Chain A
Amino acid sequence: MKKRNKTDEYIIVIGCGRLGSHLASLLSRDGCSVVIIDKDVNSFEGLEQDFGGFTIEADGIEDEVLRNAKIEQADVLVATTDDDNANIMIAQIAKSIYKVPKVIARLHDPNRYKIYKELDIETVSPTLLSAIEFQNIIARDFAGIEEAD
């Protein structure tokens, strides 16, 4: 498979919390063109100094805001707000209406996993990932103790 040049990639990140700002900074450092949207102008202070993308102060669930962010040209959209339902709505608008090729949403409450699955939205759940990681570390340490015995 031919690898796409990263600088071609246009990525919209909705939500500039700890997760969104970190992700946007990483992607920008990788050479992607990144636009990050958040209602709170102060949230952009969480971005790294070398962040080279654009910031938009607006509510990402508004259609007009997404259009201003040139959503129809986006290769990837990531919804990382702390409101699961807002993420679901943004992800569906991006996927069904604007046909963004890759859409990923943050899943906050694992109880809602079924909804995302039902609506065919790809998710990343920081809560589940952390839980699994904790479990792995604990299992590994126990295995270590058993071997030592």
Chain B
Amino acid sequence: MNIIIVGGGKKIHFLIRSFVSKGHNVTVINDEYETCRRLARMHNAKIINGDGSLPYVLEEAGAAYSEIIVALTPKDPDNLVICQIAQKMFMIKRTIAIVNDPENIKIFHELGVDTVISTAEIISSLIEQRVAVDEITNLIPIEEGKVSIMEVEITSDSPVIGKTINSINFPEEAVVGCIIRKEEAIIPKGKTDIRLNDKLIVLTLPRVQSETLEILRGRLD
């Protein structure tokens, strides 16, 4: 697929690398000359120095035969205009924009941008999650978040106390890899039971993460 990325701070390296490694053709538009030079040295992607909200710059970037455009500039109006030009003048179907002001999510949707991401909102919800759930620690995303490892402490209100691993109805994509009981580390088998104050090291796919937590903790919050 042909993907155009406009703007982007430090995160952009990661994004380009991930798209390129999956075999996509990536074109980056950035208005800072030095950034463009650095990007061109580091990545196997087409780099264009210019203002991505100008139609002729998008045209040069091959917008007419691109399938996806991602607008990551720090200014919300620029991101909106980039997506709208891409959609209306170049018929790009998938438009993705970052918004800095979460209030703009709704406005962007109403004005036709199909995916709107608010980093402020995502980060604050992650922080809230961490603050609210202090018995879950070391949540490590692995392989760009495809798998996560978390450490869950079994508190007295957990519904799985006294149960054996094979009697707990875990989702297919979750597994308890290790139980830390006092000073000891146990590699659990089906017959291993779970006790109070155990720390479970759980490996899950992101889509079943909250389901798994609910099973272990008996609540979702």
A118-B88 contact in complex given A83-B77, A85-B77, C-beta closer than 8 Å: yes
Chain B contact residues, majority secondary structure: helix
Residue of chain A at shortest CB distance from B101: A62
B54 at interface by CB-CB < 8 Å: yes
Give the shortest distance, in Å, between B31 (CB) and chain A (any CB). 12
Write out, one digit per residue, whether chain A residues 72-102 have a CB within 8 A of any chain B CB (1) or not (0).
0000000000011110111011001100000
Give the bracket for the number of chain A residues in contact with chain B.
Answer: 20 to 34
Give the bracket for the number of chain B residues in contact with chain A.
Answer: 20 to 34
Q: A125–B56 Cα gap in the complex (Å)? A: 19
Q: A111–B85 Cα gap in the complex (Å)? A: 13
B219 at interface by CB-CB < 8 Å: no
A61 at interface by CB-CB < 8 Å: yes
Write out, one digit per residue, whether chain B residues 97-112 have a CB within 8 A of any chain A CB (1) or not (0).
0000101101100110
Give the shortest distance, in Å, between A16 (CB) and chain B (any CB). 18
Residue of chain B at shortest CB distance from A114: B55
Which of A62, A64, A89, A109: most chain B CB closer than 10 A? Answer: A89
Chain A contact residues, majority secondary structure: helix
Whether the Cβ atoms of A85 and B78 lie closer than 8 Å is yes
Whether the Cβ atoms of A85 and B103 lie closer than 8 Å is no
A132 at interface by CB-CB < 8 Å: no
Whether the Cβ atoms of B77 and A89 lie closer than 8 Å is yes
Residue of chain B at shortest CB distance from A64: B103
B81 at interface by CB-CB < 8 Å: yes
Whether the Cβ atoms of A89 and B80 lie closer than 8 Å is yes
Give the shortest distance, in Å, between B219 (CB) and chain A (any CB). 35
Measured between beta carbons, the chain B residues less than 8 angstroms from A64 are 103
Find B77's partner among A86, A96, A111, A118 (CB 8 Å cutoff): A86
A141 at interface by CB-CB < 8 Å: no
Measured between beta carbons, the chain B residues less than 8 angstroms from A18 are none
Whether the Cβ atoms of B88 and A119 lie closer than 8 Å is yes
Whether the Cβ atoms of B110 and A88 lie closer than 8 Å is no
B198 at interface by CB-CB < 8 Å: no
Whether the Cβ atoms of B107 and A97 lie closer than 8 Å is yes
The 8 closest A-B pairs by CB, nearest first: A89-B77, A85-B77, A86-B77, A85-B81, A85-B78, A118-B88, A63-B103, A89-B80
